[in-house]
Amino acid sequence: MFFPEYRPRRLRRNETLRSLVRETELSLNHLIYPLFVVEGHGIKEEVPSMPGVFRFSVDLLKEEIKEIIDLGLPAVILFGIPAQKDEIGSEAYAKKGVVQRAISAIKKIAPELLVITDVCLCEYTSHGHCGIIKGSEVDNDLTLEQLARVAVSHAKAGADMVAPSDMMDGRVARIREALDEAGFSHIPIMSYAVKYCSSFYGPFRDAAESAPQFGDRRSYQMDPANVREALREATLDVEEGADILMVKPAMPYLDVITRLREEFNHPIAAYQVSGEYAMIKAAGKLGWLDEERAMMESLISIRRAGADIILTYFAKEIAKKLAK
Ligand code: PBG
Ligand code: ZN
């Protein structure tokens, strides 16, 4: 049946009808809120390119965590900015490192809040790369040993899940083995399985002070032109034992999210990254976009593409909006 017998507008006449036929929902249950924790005391500083996002020292986390809990958000992912960086990123697995202390602080305040940790070296290395440098390259296999140490140290501090974002080959298997050996076979791995070498990480690198001091990340992060390679990366991570597969960034890669959704039966996460957030915030500030509507639309699009879970800097704002 076609027009004039069939009229699609019949089901759009009012909000009750529209909600009745709505295919995708956004709920707080799927959201993960990223948190930056910085070494020091009494620090709560806004990230200039990410309005509304702050870096906290561990002593000031309490209020923020309480707010997150009160808003009903289920999970956070932690990024640490240490006082000292070195060639091998050793602060990343220090027993009293900034993330390790943040985990135990959060668990004391809110034991039910899911604490996920980003496992990488770039915030902790003096050169800003995600691995150990040998000669002029990032050495894959040496890096795996460091990543395994980082993951185990997070689990020991009380993390509920680890999320490796380095893009080294074989890291999921190595981290799984290390966690299992250390008695953490119950801790899931959310792998940044498909992480593109993206300009949209710009604001994050300011927030985390993790921009590479020489070269770029193209020898380990993926080429934005590729989608079949994304399926190969995801296949490897599944075989290595990943529990959740992540695509990152989200909005420029919705097709990749859909492909993974179709080809895999694992939960799929998507990271709406710092640059995606900054774009919407900036256009909103200038009055060029309706910020709240752009935020909601961007998130529903990511869900529609097939993501189960979304990591987003908008999580608190969405919680406030959904509570209205
Ligand atoms: C660290 C890491 C990055 C992001 C998450 N983990 C930065 C990068 O790879 O350069 C990006 C998050 C964002 O932009 O919001 N490897
Ligand atoms: Zn990194």
What pLDDT is stored for residue 49 in this prediction?
97
The SS3 of residue 98 is helix
Confidence of residue 8 (pLDDT cuts 50, 70, 90): very high
Active site residue 248: yes
* 230 or 207: which leads in pLDDT: 230
Which ligand has its closest atom nearest to the C-alpha of 163?
1
Q: Which fold has domain 26-323?
A: TIM Barrel (3.20.20)
What pLDDT is stored for residue 324 in this prediction?
84
Half-sphere exposure of 183 (CA within 13 A, CB side): 4
What residue spans define the domains of the chain? 26-323
Helix (H) or strand (E) holding 284: helix 274-286
Residue nearest to atom 14 of ligand 1 (CA): 201
* DSSP-derived secondary structure letter, 213: S
Between CA 201 and CA 220 the distance in angstroms is 15
Which ligand has its closest atom nearest to the C-alpha of 273?
1
Which ligand has its closest atom nearest to the C-alpha of 208?
1
* pLDDT tens profile 21-41: 999 999 999 999 999 999 999
Ligand 1 nearest-atom number relative to CA 272 = 15
CA neighbor of 269 nearest in space, from 242, 243, 245: 245
Ligand 1 nearest-atom number relative to CA 120 = 16
The preferred substitution site among 122, 192, 313 for testing ligand 1, maximizing ligand atoms within 8 Å of CB, is 122
CA-CA-CA-CA torsion sign (149, 247, 281, 204): positive
Residue in 95, 134, 195, 324 annotated catalytic: 195
Q: State whether ipTM is beyond 0.90.
A: yes
Active site residue 44: no
Query: What average pLDDT does the segment 235-260 reach?
Result: 98
* pLDDT tens profile 65-115: 999 999 999 999 999 999 999 999 999 999 999 999 999 999 999 999 999
Residue in 95, 134, 248, 316 annotated catalytic: 248
Between CA 166 and CA 203 the distance in angstroms is 18
Ligand 1 nearest-atom number relative to CA 313 = 15
The length of the chain in residues reads: 324
CB 311, CB 77: distance < 8 Å:
yes
48 CA distance to ligand 2 middle (Å)? 21
The SS3 of residue 247 is strand
165 CA distance to ligand 2 middle (Å)? 6
Residue nearest to atom 5 of ligand 1 (CA): 165
130 CA distance to ligand 1 middle (Å)? 10
Between CA 106 and CA 60 the distance in angstroms is 11
Confidence of residue 168 (pLDDT cuts 50, 70, 90): very high
CB 149, CB 88: distance < 8 Å:
no
Ligand 1 nearest-atom number relative to CA 130 = 16
What pLDDT is stored for residue 131 in this prediction?
97
Average pLDDT, the chain: 97
Cα 92 from chain centroid (whole Å):
17
